[in-house]
């Protein structure tokens, strides 16, 4: 029958989904979860950070399912995350407790404790390493055991040292205003939607969940031309942060009763932003403000960018869109932006037909009035 033509969506979808699986496996080789966890640390960190869920294994599954497409992997992780009940809230963490793997300052050469380069591609030449084509797991294991052997011989007690914060040094000098801890309970943007003006905790959450590229681009705009911020990296640290919860059984809140849950790898950045402060009798002084960035995993560019945007949103210079909290916070979420852009692929037959009707109506009127004026 004639109307069969408009039907058949169900079957078409089934076939499309098969097609998708075909694309994933058609080369006869599949990425295993251990191989993704082993070799795709950068992608895992990005997906965990944007997905706002800390689990390397779940991120690896998402990456596998998404064929390595980060926006799709983040989407999978978020959709899973939203089904999880909140069972506990962790105790407040202090980033002084971080077990440092990397820690640098671009502001001071001689920071107390020293610069720790750790693992970073920053000092590599970005030349494609064609030897990797031939790399075998056996070679990798051999290299690893040699490396570990040397490490054991040379290791001192440094490994577990907690480093003082660079900014504390500036505070002692009086160059940064001292501030108290703000220990009120943070708002949870996943439990209560944003309302404006936002609180700092809301802003920081949205920024840390933001799409890496979006956060980076906006912060780039700030320092290139669309902002008046000239920041320096006060301190960037990457390391494992131990997480504790209060004893859930006896309701005690002392540290000794807390339960250790595990560690999270975090990147934390404190940006130093010079500002002119007006003192008494019109005297001006330069002081430093702070922009704060923190993300799951090692995501240094994003954390720095977050620090810049945090400061822009704090100061709200009306001259720049990057200081407009609605402009920034509403548009950097990967799931939301990619979702709304991709929805344009959905049929818009009705809406378009309706617009067509309006277009024809105005055309008809124009023709009619033209005829009238010709008379």
Partner 1 sequence: MSAYNFAFFDEGSKREIRRATLKAIAIPGYQVPFASREMPIARGWGTGGLQLTLSLVGKEDVLKVIDQGSDESVNAVNIKKLVGKTTGIRATEETSEATLIQSRHRIPEIPLSEGQILVLQVPLPEPLRAYESSELVTKKLHGEREYSGAWLMLFEQIMRYGNMSTGADHPVLVHDRYVMAPSPIPRFDNPKMNRSEALILLGAGREKKVYAVPPHTQVVSLAFDDYLFQTESSAGNSCKLCGATDVFMDEFVHEETGETYHQCNDTSYCLSRLNRKVLHQEVPLNG
What are the residues binding partner 1 (CB under 8 A)?
1-3, 6-10, 12-13, 75, 78-79, 81-85, 190-197, 326, 330, 335-336, 338-343, 346-359, 361-362, 365-366, 369
| Of the candidates 150, 113, 348, 313, the residue with the CA atom closest to the CA atom of residue 229 | 313
The dihedral built from the CA positions of residue 186, 190, 191 and 193, taken in this order, carries a sign that is positive
| Residue 143 vs 340, nearer CB to partner 1 | 340
Residues 6+ apart with CB under 8 A from 247: 257, 258, 259
46: exposed, middle or buried (Cβ count in 10 Å: 0-12, 13-18, 19+): buried
Closer to partner 1 at the Cβ: 174 or 347?
347
| Alpha-carbon separation of residue 125 from 128, 130, 189 (angstroms) | 9, 13, 40
**259 CB contacts (<8 Å, ≥6 apart)?**
244, 245, 246, 247, 248
CB of 58 or CB of 241, closer to partner 1: 58
State the minimum distance, in angstroms, from the CB of residue 76 to partner 1: 8
**Which CB sits closer to partner 1, 1 or 128?**
1
Q: Which residues 6+ apart lie within 8 Å of 150 measured at CB?
A: none
Residue 88 structure tokens:
């506990």
Least Å from the CB of residue 359 to partner 1: 8
User: Which one, 3 or 130, has the nearer CB to partner 1?
Assistant: 3
Q: Taking the complex as a whole, how short is the minimal distance between the CB of residue 85 and partner 1, in angstroms?
A: 5
CB of 24 to partner 1, least distance (A): 18
Q: Is 228 exposed, middle or buried (0-12, 13-18, 19+ CB in 10 A)?
A: middle
According to DSSP, the β-strands at 259-278 and 284-296 are antiparallel
Rank residues 151 and 365 by Cβ distance to partner 1 and give the closer one: 365
Nearer to partner 1, 78 or 265 (CB): 78
Rounded to whole angstroms, the maximal C-alpha distance in the chain is 102
Report, in Å, the least distance between residue 259 CB and partner 1: 23
Q: How far apart are CA 295 and CA 266, in angstroms?
A: 6
Q: Which residues contact 49 (CB under 8 A, 6 or more apart)?
A: 208, 209, 212, 295, 296, 297, 299, 302
**Beta strand 284-296 pairing with 99-104:** unpaired
Shortest CB 196 distance to partner 1, Å: 4
Q: How far is the CB of 32 from partner 1 (least distance, A)?
A: 21
> Residue 111 has which token pair?
């920071």
105 vs 322, which CB is nearer to partner 1?
A: 322
Q: Shortest distance, CB of residue 220 to partner 1, whole angstroms?
A: 22
């Amino acid at each position: 029958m004639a109307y069969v033509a408009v039907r058949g969506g169900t079957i078409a979808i089934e076939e499309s989904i098969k097609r998708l699986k075909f694309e994933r496996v058609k080369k006869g080789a599949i990425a295993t979860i251990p191989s993704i966890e082993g070799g795709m640390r950068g992608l895992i960190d990005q997906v965990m950070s944007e997905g706002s869920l800390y689990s390397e294994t779940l991120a690896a599954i998402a990456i596998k399912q998404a064929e390595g497409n980060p926006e799709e992997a983040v989407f999978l992780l978020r959709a899973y995350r939203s089904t999880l009940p909140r069972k506990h809230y962790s105790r407040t963490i202090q980033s002084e407790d971080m077990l440092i793997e990397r820690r640098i300052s671009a502001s001071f050469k001689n920071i107390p404790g020293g610069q720790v380069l750790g693992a970073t591609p920053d000092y590599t030449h970005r030349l494609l390493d064609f030897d990797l084509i031939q790399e075998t797991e056996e070679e990798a294991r051999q290299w690893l055991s040699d490396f570990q052997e040397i490490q054991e011989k040379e290791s001192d007690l440094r490994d577990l040292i907690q480093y003082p914060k660079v900014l504390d040094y500036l505070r002692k000098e009086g160059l940064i205003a001292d501030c108290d801890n703000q220990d009120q309970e943070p708002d949870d943007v996943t439990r209560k939607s944003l309302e404006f003006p936002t609180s700092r905790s809301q802003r920081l959450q949205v920024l840390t969940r933001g799409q890496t590229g979006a956060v980076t681009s906006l912060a780039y705009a700030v320092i290139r031309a669309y902002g008046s911020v000239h920041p320096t990296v006060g301190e960037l640290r990457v390391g494992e942060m131990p997480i504790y919860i209060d004893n859930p059984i006896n309701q005690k809140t002392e540290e000794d009763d807390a339960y250790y849950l595990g560690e999270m790898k975090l990147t934390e950045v404190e940006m130093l932003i010079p500002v002119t402060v007006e003192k008494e009798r019109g005297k001006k002084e330069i002081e430093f403000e702070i922009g704060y960035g923190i993300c799951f995993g090692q995501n240094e560019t994003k954390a720095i960018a977050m620090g810049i945007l945090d400061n822009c949103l704090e100061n709200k210079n009306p001259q720049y869109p990057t200081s407009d909290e609605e402009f920034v916070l509403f548009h950097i979420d990967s799931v939301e932006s990619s979702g709304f852009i991709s929805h344009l692929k959905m049929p818009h037959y009705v809406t378009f037909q309706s617009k067509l009707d309006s277009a024809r109506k105005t055309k008809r009127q124009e023709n009619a009035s033209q005829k009238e004026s010709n008379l």
